[in-house]
Amino acid sequence: MAGIKDYSTTASNNTSVGGVSIAEGMLPSNINNAFRAIAADIREFYNDSQWVIYGDGDGAHTFAYVSGTAFTVAGANVTAFYHAGRRVKAVGSSTGTIFGTIASSSFSTNTTVNVTWDSGSLQNESLVIYVGALSKTNNSIPTGIITSTNLSGLLVDNSSHSGSTPGDTTVFTTAASDSRYFRQDSSETISSGDTWSSNDNRIATTAAIDARVIDLVDDVGGFVPIANETSFPNANPDVNNAAGTIVSITSLSSDLTSNSSGVITIANGTVGNSTVTLNGCGNAVTFATGFGLLVETTNTLNTYTFVRLVPKATEVTTVATNATAVTNVSNNISAINTANSNSTNINTVATNIGNVNNVGNNIGAVTNVSSNLTGINAFNERYRVASSDPSSSLDAGDLVFNTSSNELKFYSGSSWNAIASQDINVKVTGSDTSSGVLNDKILVSGGLTKTVTNSGSNEKLTLSAQAAEVYGFITTDTDSDGIKDTLQVVTTNGGQDNISSTVYNSFTDVIYGASGMTWSITNDGNLRVTI
Confidence of residue 152 (pLDDT cuts 50, 70, 90): low
Whole-number Å distance between alpha carbons of 6 and 2: 6
Residues 6+ apart with CB under 8 A from 210: 192
pLDDT in tens, 67-126: 999 999 998 999 999 999 999 999 999 999 999 999 999 999 999 999 999 999 999 999
Whole-number Å distance between alpha carbons of 200 and 181: 14
pLDDT in tens, 460-496: 777 665 556 787 888 888 888 877 777 788 887 766 7
Mean pLDDT of 183-206: 75
User: How do 203-204 and 276-279 pair as beta strands?
Assistant: unpaired
Cα separations (Å) of 177 from 17, 174, 199?
A: 51, 5, 22
pLDDT at 250: 92
Confidence of residue 217 (pLDDT cuts 50, 70, 90): low
Cα separations (Å) of 426 from 423, 452, 460?
A: 10, 17, 14
pLDDT at 206: 85
- Crossing angle (nearest 10°) for helices 333-341 and 323-331: 70
pLDDT, averaged across the chain: 82
Confidence of residue 435 (pLDDT cuts 50, 70, 90): low
CB 253 within 8 A of CB 228: yes
Q: Ramachandran region of residue 138, left (φ > 0), alpha (ψ -120 to 50) or beta?
A: left
pLDDT at 425: 47
Domain-wise residue ranges, the chain: 4-47, 52-132, 221-316, 383-418, 469-530
pLDDT in tens, 316-367: 777 778 888 888 888 999 888 888 889 898 888 889 998 888 988 999 888 8
Q: Which of 230, 272, 264, 268 is nearest to 247 (CA)?
A: 230
pLDDT in tens, 311-326: 877 777 777 788 888 8
pTM over 0.75: no
pLDDT at 445: 64
- The three state secondary structure string of 26-66 is CCCCHHHHHHHHHHHHHHHHHHCCCEECCCCCCCCCCEEEE
pLDDT in tens, 7-58: 777 877 777 887 888 888 888 888 888 888 788 777 877 777 788 888 887 8
Architecture of domain 221-316: Beta Barrel (2.40)
